[in-house]
Chains A and B, each alone.
Chain A
């Protein structure tokens, strides 16, 4: 009987999760992200060689892990990545653009490091 009660508890948790998920009507933002991903990848492929790049998202990915692992190193190995921001010559920032320009409203901003010219 105790085992049945435990099962009933977990089954009720399942039904709660279902009710919560079904009532969540907001469409997932991930739907549009794939084209963004590919679009930004295309921009990365156009970057000039001879520089060492550091890329990250200050709010969600400060260490640049997602970009380094998932996109740049695997899909575009020609892009020369720096091991750290201090070692980089160009910093790339992923920013949302209020006017919706770039890749579905995201833009890559390149900022030279250490040399104002």
Chain B
């Protein structure tokens, strides 16, 4: 328990000040802090392995630099951290309540044990990052390490390993599970904030609908939230990113939090890298004339750079160009069938809700904000499923075994996006008609 609490506190503390500076809103800063802490730890982990330096000094240096830069930015903008401003357009007690409810599904972390892939792929590599330096480099490059997929993206093992090293490495499996749970909570909180952002600022019904939606979205299999695997993290982060980036938004500040979520998705798993890249390209295309959006293109470039670095350390990286099969069509057909079997119970109500919003003219005008959100969520569904079907069709494994052992977790992003469609329509329906509420002066930074 001490290892778990220590790991979460280190993650939160490392990311808090930069998160507040990036979001200019203390409530969002608290929600985003674990993700920012995870990103800083990832940079530290990669720097440690690349340079041969121990991980803890690398992490300390990066946190100090990021914290000092953030503090200057906070001071320059005059952002206050007083409790009275912890509102994000809503009473602070309501936001705290939402945060507590979002933590409920993560109580599965109390279940003892860590699953097979979580240990052999993620937690095992966390021990290398905790060791850092040249010994970690040897482990990455050893042919015997191939079972642990050293070429997979770095965020989860780097964050768990570096944080665990910082807390004195009491128990790496426990630290890994705790760090995963904290990151998933943060991704869920960002998703909830992005759903709330679909409605009018300050509209009272949206926090409750958004919270209920996030809770419902976890029905893909709550055990996967905190069993130490990476699938839930990248998937929830990708949906939050898609919802925030694939809509028309005028303020560049609105892009920062979803962009962070997108970076987390791309640095967590190869599926996240593919999905995030499609989302970023779509986000730039949505408002092509807004040059303030072009910097988003740096995200997939940076993530691909990290992926290439990991591949360069591995002795036997998986081929990027997939295998060719004579039975590509048959394999793709089996994959589509299996994907539909996982998604059909959420896809049906999501299709009905989408048809209401998009096809009924009166509703389309009245629920204009929901229209953009529904289209954005379908964008995430497509962005996550197309690379997935392509991978199943051309991948190296026997298709029936492969689908049976993976399809329920590779489709989490599409599942979550479909649930969010239902939530957005519910929120739009509950919102009372009227002009946008003026922003309170105390909340404007």
The answer to whether B429 has its CB under 8 Å from any CB of chain A is yes
B346 contacts A10, C-beta separation under 8 Å: yes
Known: A14-B222, A30-B115, A75-B146; 11 extra A-B contacts, CB below 8 A, are A3-B349, A3-B429, A4-B430, A14-B105, A14-B219, A17-B219, A21-B222, A30-B119, A31-B119, A38-B144, A74-B146
Inter-chain CA distance A98–B409, complex, in Å, is 35
Interface membership of chain B positions 91-135, coded 1 if the CB is closer than 8 angstroms to chain A and 0 otherwise:
000000000000011011011111110111000100000000000
Residues of B400-415 at the interface with A, using a CB-CB cut-off of 8 Å, are: 401
Interface membership of chain B positions 141-183, coded 1 if the CB is closer than 8 angstroms to chain A and 0 otherwise:
0011111000000000000000000000000010000000000
B219 surroundings in chain A (CB, below 8 A) = 10-11, 13-14, 17
B396 surroundings in chain A (CB, below 8 A) = 69
Q: How large is the interface on A (under 10, 10 to 19, 20 to 34, 35 or more residues)?
A: 35 or more
Known: A11-B216, A14-B218, A28-B114. Is A75-B401 also a contact (CB below 8 A)? no
Q: Could you show 26 A-B contacts with beta carbons less than 8 Å apart?
A: A3-B353, A3-B423, A6-B422, A7-B422, A7-B426, A8-B216, A11-B212, A14-B215, A14-B216, A17-B108, A17-B223, A18-B108, A21-B111, A21-B223, A22-B110, A27-B112, A28-B113, A28-B115, A30-B119, A31-B114, A34-B119, A65-B401, A69-B396, A74-B147, A75-B145, A77-B316
Q: How large is the interface on B (under 10, 10 to 19, 20 to 34, 35 or more residues)?
A: 35 or more
Inter-chain CA distance A37–B396, complex, in Å, is 21
The answer to whether B52 has its CB under 8 Å from any CB of chain A is no
Interface membership of chain B positions 71-105, coded 1 if the CB is closer than 8 angstroms to chain A and 0 otherwise:
00000000000000000000000000000000011
Residues of A16-72 at the interface with B, using a CB-CB cut-off of 8 Å, are: 17-18, 21-22, 24-28, 30-31, 33-34, 37-38, 41, 45, 63, 65-66, 69-71
Inter-chain CA distance A26–B113, complex, in Å, is 8
B380 surroundings in chain A (CB, below 8 A) = none
B116 contacts A33, C-beta separation under 8 Å: yes
A77 to chain B, nearest CB (A): 8
The answer to whether B326 has its CB under 8 Å from any CB of chain A is no
B316 surroundings in chain A (CB, below 8 A) = 74, 77
A69 surroundings in chain B (CB, below 8 A) = 396-397
B212 contacts A30, C-beta separation under 8 Å: no
The answer to whether A86 has its CB under 8 Å from any CB of chain B is no
B263 to chain A, nearest CB (A): 27
B110 contacts A11, C-beta separation under 8 Å: no
A-side interface residues toward B, CB under 8 Å? Answer: 1, 3-4, 6-11, 13-15, 17-18, 21-22, 24-28, 30-31, 33-34, 37-38, 41, 45, 63, 65-66, 69-71, 74-77
Inter-chain CA distance A94–B301, complex, in Å, is 44
B104 surroundings in chain A (CB, below 8 A) = 15, 18
B212 contacts A3, C-beta separation under 8 Å: no
A10 surroundings in chain B (CB, below 8 A) = 216-217, 219, 346, 419
Q: Which residue of chain B lies nearest to A45 when distances are taken between CB atoms in the complex? A: B144
B223 surroundings in chain A (CB, below 8 A) = 17, 21
**Which of B213, B222, B430 has most A Cβ within 10 Å?**
B222
Inter-chain CA distance A67–B434, complex, in Å, is 63
> Which 7 pairs from chain A and chain B are nearest by CB?
A28-B113, A10-B216, A3-B426, A17-B222, A13-B219, A11-B215, A30-B116
Inter-chain CA distance A27–B111, complex, in Å, is 8
